[in-house]
Amino acid sequence: MVMPDARRVHEAACGRLLALQGENGAWEGEMEWSTMILSQYVIVLHILERPPDEPERQAILRCYRTTRTAEGGWGMHPQAPPSAYATTLAYVALRLLGTGPEDPLTAGARQWLHAQPGGVRAVPQWGLFWLALLGLVPYRDVAPVPPEMMLLPPWVPLHPGRLLGWTRMLYQAMAYLYGAKFRADLGPVARDLRRELFAGPGLGAGAPGAGNTDVYVAGGRALRLSQWCLRGWEKVHSRRLRRAALERCHRAVVDEQHASPHHGLSSVNALVECLVLYAHDPKHPLLEDAVSRLRYWCWEDGDRGLRVCGDRSTVWDTSFAVEALLSAGDGAGRAGPALGRAHAFLRAAQITTYTGRVPPLRTVRHGWAFSDGHSRWPVGDCTAEALSALLRAQDAAGPGTPGLGGAALHGALDVMLDRQNPDGGFGTLDRRRAGTWLEALNPTEMFAGCMVDTSSAECTGSVLTALSRMRPLLEPAARRRAARATARGVAHLRAQQNHDGSFSGTWGINYTYAAFHAARGLRAAGVPADDPALKALGRWLQETQLEDGGWGEDWRSCLEHRYIPLDRGLPEMTAWAVMAGLDTLGPRHPVVEKGVHWLCAHQQPDGSWAGGHVNGVFFTTMMLVYRLYPVYFPAMAVGHYLRALAGPTAATATNTVVAPDDTADPGEPA
């Protein structure tokens, strides 16, 4: 029988989770990306004349040694081949750290770079921007980032305020540095870097070479025309207008520093914003706080050294850890005290105020960020997952636990509904502010889907789940708003389903991740398991199960937009598929039982599962490793399986809410 094994596995997994809880009641695992951000960190500290001390320097070097590929370079994520962009930045950072040109780290990297088509000259535009800041290439080789765009009226379609939140926050900082033509004074090492990096004559950056894996988004005619116009503008722009534009960008960066507080929306934002403050005034009153807060983004241990993560995932990890602990439906049990602390953390992490000078439009309400309560930027699906976890923990803890007040509950509803797009789906930081045509003007070359905050299956599924759980607690008018949003969200997921029954992911790897969120959201919205959409998804799960009983998806499926299986199962992907299978096929289906058997057989002695494989994605091309995904997602899957075996009432209690009489049934086809 599976039940005894599954019960033991779930208890061991919960024990591991409880051991990982922090003193503040939260869970957080490293969100590993690439040495790219570490290199930028080293470069920025050097420019600001605040080099790392010797222990920190040694920890940074340890990271470069442990992440170098067999070819001698560095990739854009732990499983990627060498990247000209990441390797170039790493080479510069190593030289600034005092590593000699003939050191094995630098010599191997230089040899690999020189062997690539185009060499360093072929790095994408984001890399050229950093090389221009360092004075290693001229600004004329960088795609224009004119600060005058910030002076356009907000209604203009090309205003930077219409960009996706992460992109627009970065634009305002990059535009300042580009408009001021800021160049760092590297001293004698600049001459050495030019000689070492550029093997051919000249210092200009030529066209990307054939076979350059960093260039994922090739610019089309519209982009080339717009850049030609902007380069012309650089030759004739008004100095007075430029000064006004630079001041507008500077004020925007200052406001973000006040709102963060002082650590920016992400690590990349934080680093570039430090340079803006320094370029504006080397004695800027906010600079010391901004530099000191850079450590907020760092992870360090003895084995792998010091890394800089792309973001902190405290609220995100805590929400899913709570769900995992309660997934079996048998109450809080020994997890009661831990759930109480997690409940207190999540309540305190809700964003209730804006600490910047001018609250931005449609952004500041009572939601949750991806990281913690210090960020002022609530995210749609993070708000949904935090709210779902809070309500589950509140129910499990009993009547003595303080609940969310009406203002907090309805404020969270406003955050989620504010991010519902015209197509009925949900985005992240904003509602979509421009048409998808804006993606045609993407100048980055290495990121995709970074211009517009479009809907995703994952965000939509998360919000549908949260709306179903909160609707009974809402006032009648708010309940009707939630019901209408639910119906539109269901219609969006139906419209986005692929012909083979799968869903395309945006923030995870990829079709497997989307399957979990889509099935979960549809079932929570009241769509029955025998609905054609869910039956089609169930067939897709059957077809993609591997011979070992698990599911494993290659990260290249994000780049190629097609499902690419691995030759073995992975714990987080198997967990996602099992949970989607429970919502579509049922707990006694052989496909689901084989998946649960796989999870039971692959649990490690400490109660977790082997991790390290990329499992997240950012802007299509940037793969991430969420270190806690192989801990709480398998625990959730096994717990949901146990709950489903206990009976239909227990199995559906937290996943399905029947639509109220004041709206059409969201389970009906649109």
Q: Three-state SS across 434-485?
A: CCHHHHHHCCCCCCCCCCCCCCEHHHHHHHHHHHHHHHHHCCHHHHHHHHHH
The mean pLDDT of 648-652, rounded to a whole number, is 48
pLDDT of 600:
97
**Beta-carbon neighbour count of residue 158 at 10 Å?**
12
Nearest to 596 by CA among 613, 612, 579: 579
Count of residues in the chain: 670
The mean pLDDT of 345-359, rounded to a whole number, is 79
Nearest to 343 by CA among 403, 291, 274: 403
Report, in this order, helix, strand and coil percent for the chain, each rounded to 5.
55, 5, 40
Q: Burial code of 213-224, b = ≥16 C-beta within 10 A, e = fewer?
A: bbbbbebeeebe
Q: What is the mean pLDDT of the chain?
A: 90
- For 188, the enclosing helix (H) or strand (E) is helix 188-197
pLDDT of 294:
95
The amino acid that residue 664 corresponds to is A
- pLDDT > 70: what percent of the chain? 92
Do 366 and 354 touch, CB atoms closer than 8 A? no
pLDDT of 209:
41
Please give the Cα distance from 596 to 604 (Å, whole number).
Answer: 15
Cβ neighbors of 83 (< 8 A, separation 6 or more) are: 34, 73, 74, 75, 76, 213, 214
Position 449 confidence tier, pLDDT thresholds 50, 70, 90: confident
pLDDT at 222 over 70: yes
250 exposure class (CB count in 10 Å sphere: 0-12, 13-18, 19+): buried
pLDDT of 666:
46
The mean pLDDT of 417-436, rounded to a whole number, is 91
Please give the Cα distance from 142 to 582 (Å, whole number).
Answer: 51
Position 360 confidence tier, pLDDT thresholds 50, 70, 90: low
Tokens of 387: 């709210």
Please give the Cα distance from 413 to 421 (Å, whole number).
Answer: 15
Q: Burial code of 53-70, b = ≥16 C-beta within 10 A, e = fewer?
A: eeebbebbbbbbeebbbe
Tokens of 304: 């792998």
Tokens of 582: 């429970």
Q: Which of 136-140, 256-260, 323-327 has the lowest mean pLDDT?
A: 256-260
pLDDT at 406 over 70: yes
| Through-space distance between the first and last CA atoms of the chain, rounded to whole angstroms | 42
pLDDT at 31 over 50: yes
User: From residue 307, how far is each of 36, 80, 613 by CA, in Å?
Assistant: 10, 17, 17
The amino acid that residue 646 corresponds to is A
Residues 149-198: tens digit of each pLDDT: 999 998 898 899 888 888 888 999 999 999 999 999 999 999 999 999 99
**Beta-carbon neighbour count of residue 124 at 10 Å?**
23
Residues 601-637: tens digit of each pLDDT: 999 999 999 998 999 999 988 999 999 999 999 999 9
Cβ neighbors of 247 (< 8 A, separation 6 or more) are: none
Q: Higher confidence at residue 614 or residue 366?
A: 614
The mean pLDDT of 320-331, rounded to a whole number, is 93
**Beta-carbon neighbour count of residue 486 at 10 Å?**
26
Residues 232-257: tens digit of each pLDDT: 999 999 999 999 999 999 999 998 88
Q: Which of 14-23, 25-34, 199-208 has the lowest mean pLDDT?
A: 199-208
pLDDT of 30:
94
Q: Higher confidence at residue 393 or residue 654?
A: 393
| CA 476 centroid distance within chain | 35
Do 345 and 394 touch, CB atoms closer than 8 A? no
- For 75, the enclosing helix (H) or strand (E) is none
- What value does the CA radius of gyration of the chain take, rounded to a whole number of Å? 25
Do 145 and 176 touch, CB atoms closer than 8 A? no
Position 362 confidence tier, pLDDT thresholds 50, 70, 90: very low
- pLDDT > 90: what percent of the chain? 73
* DSSP state string for 102-154: TSHHHHHHHHHHHTSTTGGGG--HHHHHHHHHTTSS-GGGSPP--GGGGGS-T
Residues 547-583: tens digit of each pLDDT: 999 999 999 999 999 999 999 999 999 999 999 999 9
Question: How wide is the angle at C-alpha 592 spanned by C-alphas 591 and 593, nearest 5°?
Answer: 95
Cβ neighbors of 4 (< 8 A, separation 6 or more) are: none
The mean pLDDT of 325-345, rounded to a whole number, is 90
Residue 616, beta-bridge partner list: 508, 624
The mean pLDDT of 636-651, rounded to a whole number, is 83
The verdict on whether omega for the bond into residue 157 sits within 30 degrees of 0, i.e. cis, is no
Q: Higher confidence at residue 199 or residue 202?
A: 199
pLDDT of 356:
64
Q: Which of 241-250, 278-287, 350-359 has the lowest mean pLDDT?
A: 350-359
Nearest to 305 by CA among 65, 20, 611: 65
Tokens of 247: 């001041």
pLDDT at 205 over 80: no
pLDDT of 200:
54
The amino acid that residue 333 corresponds to is G
pLDDT at 378 over 70: yes
pLDDT at 359 over 60: no
